Structure 1
Amino acid sequence: MRKVYLIILFIPLLFSCTPDKYDLIILNGEVYDGMGNDPTQVDLAISDGKIVGIGDFDEDQGIEVIDAKDQAVTPGFIDMHVHLEPLLEMPLAESHARQGVTFALGGPDGSSPWPFIPYLDSLDQTPLGINVGYLIGHNSIRNEVIGLEDRAPTNEELAQMMAFVKEGMAAGAFGISTGLKYLPGTFAELDEIIALARTSSAEGGIYTSHLREEGIGLLEAVDEAIQIGKEAAIPIVLTHHKAIGVKMWGASNKTLAMVDSARALGIDVMMDQYPYAASHTGISVLIPSWAREGGNFAERVKNQVLYDSIKSGIIWNILNDRGGSDLRRIQFSRVEWMPELEGKTLHDWIVMEGKEPTVDIGAEYVIQAQLNGGTGTIYHAMDEADVENIMRHPMTMIGSDGRLSRPGDGHPHPRAYGTFPRVLGYYVREKKVLELKEAIYKMTGLPAQRLGLQERGTIQIGNMADLVVFDPKSILDKSTFENPHQYPEGIDFVIINGEKVVDQGKFLGKTPGKLIRKSKLD
C-alpha cells in the first residue's frame, strides 16, 4: 500500500511541473545517447538550459521547434585537448562551435594560463561561445619556480610547485598536464612528476601527458606515463597519441598492447587522438632541448663547436623524428616574421632562397627560423595505419589539439576546423573505421566519464542541453592542409546550455558558454 501511495502523490507533482510550453522541442531525430547504444527515434524537450523530457511531443508544445527528421541528435562534443590561448580574443570560439564542440578542455601539453587563478576568475566575467575547462600545466608551474634551468628542484621548490597544483585544483582545474617534449618539462625527472601527479590525484584530478618522446623513444615514454599513473594512483591520458617518424610507423601495435596490459593491472590509462596523419607544434621541436636551456639559444649558436652539435641534432630529428626524412613534410603554419612562408614547406623556403634543398641546408634554415622568433609548423610524419589503429581502440577519445582560429589568420592545421566532422564523415561514413554510435561515444560519454562531467556528455533527463544535430549522410570536414580556413558541412544545429549557437548551419554569435570548474562538480 505504501508504494501505491507514493505513486499517487508523485503523479500530480509530475503534471504540475510540466510547463505550458517548453523552450525548445527537437522532433523526429535519431537520438544517440552518448553511451554507445543504438539510436532511438524520440523527441527531446528542453527548458531552462536542461533536457526535461524524452518521448513524444508535438510542435505546439515548444516555443521553438527543430524538425530533425533523418538527422542524428547527439550530446555536444567534448574536445579533450584544445589550445585556448586566443580565447579572450576569440571568445565565441566559432572554429570549435561549428564543429559541434560544446565543451573544450584547455591547458594541455604542460602549458596553462599563468597566473592560473586570476585567469579563471576573468573567464567568469567573459561571455563565451562554448563551455571551457582547464588543466593546470606542469611547464607553466616549473617555469614560474625554476625557469628554464636543466636541474632538479630543491625541496622548497618542489613544495612550491605542489602548492601551485593544489591551489589550481581547488580553483577548478580538472587535473595536471605535462609537456615532457618541451621546455622546461623535458628537464623534469620522474620523481618530480610523480609528486605533482599525486597532488592532483589527492584532489580528484587526472594526469594528461604529451609524452617525452613520440618518435624513437615512444615505447619508453609510454612506459614512463604508465609508471606515473601507477605510482601516483591517478587516471592518465596519453594525449594526442601517435607514432612519429618513418622508423616508428607501426609502433601503435606495441603501445596499444602496453595500454591493455596496464589496464589489466588496474592502471587507469586512456588516450585521446586527432584524426590526421600530421602533427603541429613549433619549429623548435627539431632543436635539441639542451641547446635552448635557459633561453640562451642565440648565444650558443655563435660558438662554432656548439653550432655544429646543434645542427647535427636537427639533422637527426629531420631524418628520424618529426622531419619524416623529407623537407617537404615540414610545413609552416604561422610565420610572423615572413608571412609569405605560411602554407609552404621547408623545402619551398630553401628553393625560394635559391639554394639546394638538402637536409644539411634544411638544418641551417631551422636554426635561422628559431633565431627569427620561431614558427608554427605542421609535420607530415605519421602513418595512416597507426591513426586508424589508435582510433579503433576502445579507450581512445577524440581531441583536436586545435588552436582557436579565424579565417585569414595564419595557416593552421586543418584540425582547428575539422576534427569532429572528419571522424564522423571520413572515418565513419567513408572508411568505416568506426560505427557512428561508437564514434559519438568517443566524443561524448567517454570523455565526460574521464572528466567527471556528470551532467554533460549523455542525453538524459536532467542533463544540460548541450546537443548537436547533424546529417550523417553529408557531415564532412572541408579544411585541408592547402586551404585550412574552411568550416565543415552537415552540422545544422549546435545547442549549448539550451541555447542555439548554430541554427540551420548559420553561426549566431551567441554566448551561452561558461567556465566549468571541476571543484564545483564534486
Structure 2
Amino acid sequence: MMGLVNRAPTGEELRQMEEWIEKAMKEGAFGISTGLKYLPGTYAQLDEIVALSKVAARHGGIYTSHLREEGLGLLEGVAEAIQIAELAGIPVVLTHHKAIGLKMWGSSVKTLAMVDSARNKGLDVMIDQYPYTASFTGISVLIPSWALEGHPVREFTKRCEDPILRDSIRKGIIFNLLNDRGGGDLRRIQFGSFDWKPELNGKTLYDWAILQGLAPNVENGADLVIEAQIHRGAGCIFHAISEEDVRRIMKHPQTMVASDGRLSQPGKDHPHPRAYGTFPRVLGHYVREENVLRLEEALFKMTGQPALRLGLKKRGFIRKGYYADLALFDPATVKDKSTFEAPHQYPEGIPFVLINGKVTVDKGVYQDVRAGKTLKKGK
C-alpha cells in the first residue's frame, strides 16, 4: 500500500490495511506474516504491526514473523515478536529461527529461554526452523536499509553516484560483512541466483574477487556487493549459522520443521539444498545418524504440530476420515542428497507419496499428478 517509503501509515492507510486483513481472514487466511528485515516490512513499527495483528487475532489467526534482526539484534527481534503476542493477543511463530553471525553463535540459549518465559506467562509462542547452517536471501541484506528506500535498484544506484553516500553505504556493508552474515570471510557468501553473472552461481564472493583480480577482503567485497545490487541484486547462500544452535533449536518442544525454501526449477540456478532436502535431512541425519531427535518427535514436528498450529482440519495425523496426505519412507535409508555444492538432487528412501489420497510418487517416480487443494482456515 505505502510503497518503499520509510514512514508510519496515516490513519486512513491503517484503516484500509485493517479492512484488507479483515476481508482476508473471512475468506480463509490463517493469519498475517511480516518480513521485518526486508523492504518495505523493515519500515513497519510496533504499533502498526500490533493494530493489524489484532484484526487477525479476532478471527483466530496467527502472526508469523521473519524477525527484524537475526544477527546482532536477534534478542531485540525476539523480544519484539513476543511483545506483539502480548499486546495483540495473538499466537506468534518465530519463523526459520536461527542466530546469524559468529558473534551471535550460542544465542539460541537466550532466545529459547525467552520463548519459555513467554509461554510460562500464558503467551502462545512457537518456532519453526530449517536444518542447515546456512540461510538464503538477497545480497541486499548486507546493505543498510536506508540506502534501498524508494527502490532497491533505481534509488540505490542514484545514492551510489554520490561519493559521500556511497562511502557511507560501503562502510555499512563492511560492518555487515564483518559482524553479520559475512563473518569476515567472503567464502561464506555463495551465489545462488545471479542473473547478471550466472556463471558465478554456486561460486562465492571470494571467487568473484579473485576473478576480478582483487584481494578477497571485506573492502573489495563491499564494492562487489554494490555492483551486484546496481545490476538488480542476487540471491545468496550465507554460511553463518552454528551447528550447535541448529541442534538446540531443533530439540525445543515448540519447534516445527519448515523448509523456508522457494520453488526451484530442477537444474536452474544454484538453490539452497533445503528446497530438496529439509525433511529427509531431519529424518536421515538428525534422527537416524545423530540421534538429536527421536523419530516420533521429528514426525510430529513435521506433521501434527504444524497442522495444529494452523488449525488445519483433518490433516496432520493418520486417522480414519482424515485426508490421506502420506509420505511413505524407509527409516533405515531415507536421506537428503542435495548439497551446497550440488543442490539439484532428490532425496532417497521415500518410495511413495500420497496427496489427498492420490498417489503422486510411485516407487520413487513422480506421476505427474496434481492432487493438491487450496487450504483455508477452518475448512
**Under TM normalisation by the shorter chain, which class is it?**
over 0.9
The alpha carbon displacement at 1:454 in A equals 2.4
Say whether residues 1:178 and 2:44 are aligned partners. no
* 1:433-448 matched pairs, under 5 angstroms: 433-448=292-307
Q: Letter of the 1:252 partner, please give it.
A: S
2:263 corresponds in structure 1 to 404
Deviation string 1:210-269 (CA, Å, 9 cap, x unpaired) is 000000010011000000011111111000000000000000000000000000000000
The alpha carbon displacement at 1:371 in A equals 0.3
Structure 1 or 2: larger strand share? 1
Say whether residues 1:204 and 2:63 are aligned partners. no
The alpha carbon displacement at 1:358 in A equals 1.1
Q: Letter of the 1:242 partner, please give it.
A: K
Aligned length: 376
Deviation string 1:346-387 (CA, Å, 9 cap, x unpaired) is 000010111111100000000000000100100000000000
Distance 1:367 1:317 in 2: 13
1:346 corresponds in structure 2 to 205
1:426 corresponds in structure 2 to 285
2:97 corresponds in structure 1 to 241
Deviation string 1:414-443 (CA, Å, 9 cap, x unpaired) is 000000000000000001000000000000
* 1:188-199 matched pairs, under 5 angstroms: 188-199=44-55
Q: Return the match for 2:6 from 150, 154, 162.
A: 150
The alpha carbon displacement at 1:406 in A equals 2.4
Say whether residues 1:220 and 2:79 are aligned partners. no
Distance 2:160 2:22 in 1: 40
Contact 1:209–1:238 (CA<8 Å) still a contact in 2? yes
Contact 2:190–2:204 (CA<8 Å) still a contact in 1? yes
Q: Return the match for 1:459 from 315, 318, 326.
A: 318
**What SS class does the counterpart of residue 325 from structure 1 fall into?**
coil
Identity in percent: 64
1:285 corresponds in structure 2 to 141
1:414 corresponds in structure 2 to 273
Contact 1:330–1:346 (CA<8 Å) still a contact in 2? yes
**What SS class does the counterpart of residue 403 from structure 1 fall into?**
coil
The alpha carbon displacement at 1:323 in A equals 1.0
Distance 1:352 1:175 in 2: 46
Runs of 4+ in 1 over 4 A off after TM superposition: none
Contact 2:185–2:217 (CA<8 Å) still a contact in 1? no
Q: Letter of the 1:280 partner, please give it.
A: F
Which region of structure 1 is more displaced relative to structure 2, 271-280 or 294-303?
294-303
Deviation string 1:47-98 (CA, Å, 9 cap, x unpaired) is xxxxxxxxxxxxxxxxxxxxxxxxxxxxxxxxxxxxxxxxxxxxxxxxxxxx
Say whether residues 1:511 and 2:367 are aligned partners. no
Distance 2:27 2:138 in 1: 30
Distance 2:327 2:376 in 1: 23
**What SS class does the counterpart of residue 515 from structure 1 fall into?**
coil
**What SS class does the counterpart of residue 271 from structure 1 fall into?**
strand
1:316 corresponds in structure 2 to 175
1:475 corresponds in structure 2 to 334
**What SS class does the counterpart of residue 331 from structure 1 fall into?**
strand
Distance 2:174 2:362 in 1: 50
List alignment gaps of at least 5 residues for structure 1: 1-144
Distance 1:258 1:325 in 2: 29
Distance 1:480 1:171 in 2: 39
Q: Letter of the 1:462 partner, please give it.
A: G
Q: Letter of the 1:198 partner, please give it.
A: K
Say whether residues 1:332 and 2:188 are aligned partners. no
The alpha carbon displacement at 1:277 in A equals 0.3
Q: Letter of the 1:498 partner, please give it.
A: G
The alpha carbon displacement at 1:337 in A equals 1.3
1:502 corresponds in structure 2 to 361
**What SS class does the counterpart of residue 177 from structure 1 fall into?**
strand
Q: Letter of the 2:77 partner, please give it.
A: A
Deviation string 1:271-292 (CA, Å, 9 cap, x unpaired) is 0000000000000000000000
* 1:94-133 matched pairs, under 5 angstroms: none
Structure number with higher relative contact order (C-alpha < 8 Å, ≥ 6 residues apart):
1
Q: Return the match for 1:231 from 87, 102, 110.
A: 87
Deviation string 1:387-432 (CA, Å, 9 cap, x unpaired) is 0000000000011011111221110000000000000000000010
Distance 1:323 1:372 in 2: 21
Higher alpha-carbon Rg: 1
Q: Letter of the 2:119 partner, please give it.
A: R
Distance 2:175 2:229 in 1: 17
Q: Letter of the 1:170 partner, please give it.
A: K
Contact 1:246–1:325 (CA<8 Å) still a contact in 2? no
Distance 2:281 2:29 in 1: 29
Contact 1:406–1:485 (CA<8 Å) still a contact in 2? no
Contact 2:4–2:150 (CA<8 Å) still a contact in 1? yes
Deviation string 1:488-517 (CA, Å, 9 cap, x unpaired) is 000011111110001111111101111111
List alignment gaps of at least 5 residues for structure 2: none
Deviation string 1:313-349 (CA, Å, 9 cap, x unpaired) is 0000010001122100000000111110000000000
